[in-house]
Amino acid sequence: MLRFLSCPAARVASAFWAVAVLGLTSVACGPTYPNCANDDHCKTHGEYCVDSKCAQCRVDSHCPGAGSDVCVTCEKGACGRKADCCSSKLDCGNGKKCAGNKCVAECAADTDCAAGQACVAGACTTPGSGMEGAGCKKDGDCGPGLKCNGGKCVDSSGMCRPAPIYFDFNEYTLSSSSQDGIAASYKCMKENKATTVTVEGHCDERGTDAYNMELGNRRAKAVKTYLSTLGPKLKVKTMSYGKTKPVCNEDTESCWSQNRRAELKSDK
């Protein structure tokens, strides 16, 4: 009597013909992805076997850019960047510079900045640019409808404003509290009679530029999908800024958590 080992249906069919033709009494089946016993079981996915599971990497050299970027690292089978590490100013975000592979404050005093700039909260900014979020020292440095609060130009109109939606590290799924926040923002936009909204996806500074651009895109799309269930007639566009527009520049988890967000910008 013939005996078959358990394996996917397609492989069982193939095994049947092998038995019929070669007179084999059993067929060996390897682990099913993502399970593995060695790297060969992960090769078709371009991955490596780590603790019996296929993973993106096992050592730093398996990660893209590891040879040219000192910050690239493999942690728990995933490629990323070492915490508190930078190889250029692009890794640090606004208001910081890279020194000795560490992101540090761009300035400590106005004299550290270029002519016409001022040092505000450790960042060299140009007072008087008038844009929301721009650095300021007094209300006169901000544009119409804005006031200076905590060194930043913020809205002073009194209108309700959609609040940011926050995400866990490396996540783009919405928690129940995030869904409640989107619902509250949608109510605010209805009060303001907004008809179009752009959802901006943002990330903290850890990870490569390309990875964070994609993660920001997924965060924005997750918010768009939920918004569409609340207001089918609302026109929603998405945009990813990756890690290029942080709202906080400290190397702490509490700061990073503020940068892992989606912002809703309406036409009103």
pLDDT at residue 242 is higher than 50: yes
User: Which part of the chain is CATH 3.30.1330.60?
Assistant: 165-266
Closest by Cα among 85, 49, 52 to 207 = 85
pLDDT band at 24 (very low <50, low <70, confident <90, very high): very low
> Which residues make Cβ contacts (< 8 Å) with residue 230, sequence separation at least 6?
182, 183, 186
Assess contact for 41 and 31: CB atoms under 8 A: yes
Q: Which of 88-102, 110-124, 131-145, 252-266 has the lowest mean pLDDT?
A: 131-145
pLDDT digits (tens, 9 = 90+) for 180-210: 999 989 988 888 888 889 999 999 988 888 8
The span from the first CA to the last CA of the chain, in angstroms, equals 76
Q: How confident is the model at residue 166 (pLDDT cuts 50, 70, 90)?
A: very high
Q: Which residue has the higher pLDDT, 82 or 214?
A: 214
Q: Report the DSSP beta bridge partners of residue 123.
A: 120
Distance CA(141)–CA(159), nearest Å, equals 21
Q: Can you tell me the mean pLDDT for 33-46?
A: 92
- Give the count of beta carbons closer than 10 Å to the beta carbon of residue 170: 14
Q: Which residues contact 117 (CB under 8 A, 6 or more apart)?
A: 110, 124, 125, 126, 127
Give the largest Cα separation in the chain, rounded: 91
**Phi and psi for 42 in degrees, rounded to 5?**
-110, -5
Contact between 264 and 189 under an 8 Å Cβ cutoff? The reply is yes
pTM higher than 0.85: no
> Does position 158 have pLDDT exceeding 60, yes or no?
no
d(CA 194, CA 109): 41
Identify which of 133, 128, 89, 111 has the alpha carbon closest to the alpha carbon of residue 248. Answer: 133
User: In the CATH hierarchy, which fold is given to the domain comprising 165-266?
Assistant: 60s Ribosomal Protein L30; Chain: A; (3.30.1330)
pLDDT at residue number 3: 44
Q: Which two tokens stand for residue 118?
A: 């001022």
Provide CB contacts within 8 A for 28, sequence distance 6+. Answer: 5
- Hey, how many other C-beta atoms are within 10 angstroms of the C-beta on 114? 8
Least confident of 24-38, 74-88, 127-141, 253-267: 127-141
Mind listing the pLDDT tens digit for each residue in 78-114?
877 676 788 777 666 556 788 888 888 888 888 888 7
Q: Which residue has the tokens 């900014």?
A: 125
Beta bridge pairs of residue 264: 199
pLDDT digits (tens, 9 = 90+) for 43-66: 988 889 999 999 989 999 998 778
Distance CA 89, CA 185 (A): 34
